[in-house]
Amino acid sequence: MKSALKLFACHGFFDTTINMISKDAGISKGLMYNYFKSKEELLRTVVLQGINKFLVLFDPDHDGVLTKSELKYFIEETFRTIQNDLQFWKIYFSILSQPQVLKIVGNKFWEIINPVFKMLEDYFKKNNVNNPEIETKFFVAMIDGICIHYILDPDNFPFEEIKQKVIELYI
């Protein structure tokens, strides 16, 4: 899966072959097909596993209700995760920015993401934000943008200051 992630990011999904993946992973093509029925299934698994790896930070008590302390935890852990696994997230965002990849991943992507959007929207409603739906989209876009800017230039990005600014805005 690490080889597939790297090669999909580097060459794009359609230009990456099963032969390339199995060679990079040091396994036979047949062994790869024991785990994944197709390149599309491998892609879905890689993308969805990455999303789940990240979203486990959201709503840590899994009660479906986001609290102020949980939102702060999510913000802090998002920054820590991006900083500690920069290479993974660089590759991950590269893959997700390919429109054809989102088509292959399909509805499962949105099935995972939509409950997070709903919890954020409910949080903003509960905290009397004027337009909770817009605030939710703004918050998610802001976090994505921060992550991408850090990924593009980690040496010059004011990481701690930006994290504190986000916490000031939302906590």
- Which tens digit of pLDDT belongs to each residue from 111-148? 888 989 999 999 999 999 999 999 999 999 999 999 99
Q: Is the pLDDT of residue 159 over 80?
A: yes
Position 136 scores a pLDDT of 97
Q: What is the pLDDT of residues 83-121, one digit of tens each?
A: 988 877 877 787 778 788 778 887 788 888 898 999 999
Position 26 scores a pLDDT of 95
All residues at 6 or more sequence positions from 96 whose CB lies less than 8 Å from its CB, including other chains: 47, 102
For domain 39-170, the question of CATH label 1.10.10.10 is answered with: no
Model's pTM, two decimal places? 0.81
Q: What percent of the chain has pLDDT over 90?
A: 58
The rounded Cα 6 to chain-centroid distance in angstroms is 15
Residue keyed to tokens 């820590």: 80
Torsion-angle region of residue 64: left (phi > 0), alpha (psi -120 to 50) or beta?
A: left
Classify the C-alpha dihedral 85-87-91-94 as positive or negative. Answer: positive
Q: Is the pLDDT of residue 54 over 80?
A: no
